[in-house]
């Protein structure tokens, strides 16, 4: 799981039947190993909007919810972040 910011919408008039009715969003990873990625497409399961910070799952974990089980997705938005509290003294030059 990683954090990201929603930066746009993706409109696809033709898509796999398992994706019909889903909202596709463009997200930009904020921290960790994914932050070097430009942007990723993620399926929204929580009603996120542009500008919000979100929690994104990747790979098989993205397909574990009842809503997406068996769907051809790699990334799913599973939470909207209200606040992050970080004790920076706990990190010794880490990735944050």
Task: Please check whether residue 23 lies inside any domain of the structure.
Answer: yes
DSSP state of 92: S
In the predicted model, what is the mean pLDDT of residues 7-31?
A: 91
Task: Please check whether residue 75 lies inside any domain of the structure.
Answer: yes
- Name the residue range of residue 72's domain: 2-83
Task: Please check whether residue 45 lies inside any domain of the structure.
Answer: yes
* Number of domains the chain is built from: 1
User: What is the torsional sign of CA 13, 18, 20, 24?
Assistant: negative
Q: How confident is the model over 21-76, as pLDDT tens digits?
A: 889 999 999 876 666 668 999 999 899 999 999 999 987 666 667 676 677 788 99
Task: Please check whether residue 17 lies inside any domain of the structure.
Answer: yes
- The confidence score (pLDDT) of residue 95 equals 55
Q: What is the CATH number of the domain that holds 61?
A: 2.40.50.220
- The confidence score (pLDDT) of residue 62 equals 63
- The confidence score (pLDDT) of residue 88 equals 76
Task: Please check whether residue 19 lies inside any domain of the structure.
Answer: yes
């Amino acid at each position: 799981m990683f954090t990201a910011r929603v930066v746009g919408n993706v409109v696809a008039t033709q898509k796999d039947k398992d994706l019909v009715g889903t909202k596709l969003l463009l997200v930009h990873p904020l921290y960790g190993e994914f932050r070097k990625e430009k942007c990723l497409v993620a399926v929204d399961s929580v009603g996120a909007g542009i500008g919000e910070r979100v929690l994104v799952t990747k790979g098989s974990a993205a397909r574990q919810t009842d809503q997406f089980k068996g769907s051809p997705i790699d990334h799913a938005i599973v939470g909207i972040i209200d606040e992050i509290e970080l004790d920076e003294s706990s990190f010794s030059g880490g990735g944050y």
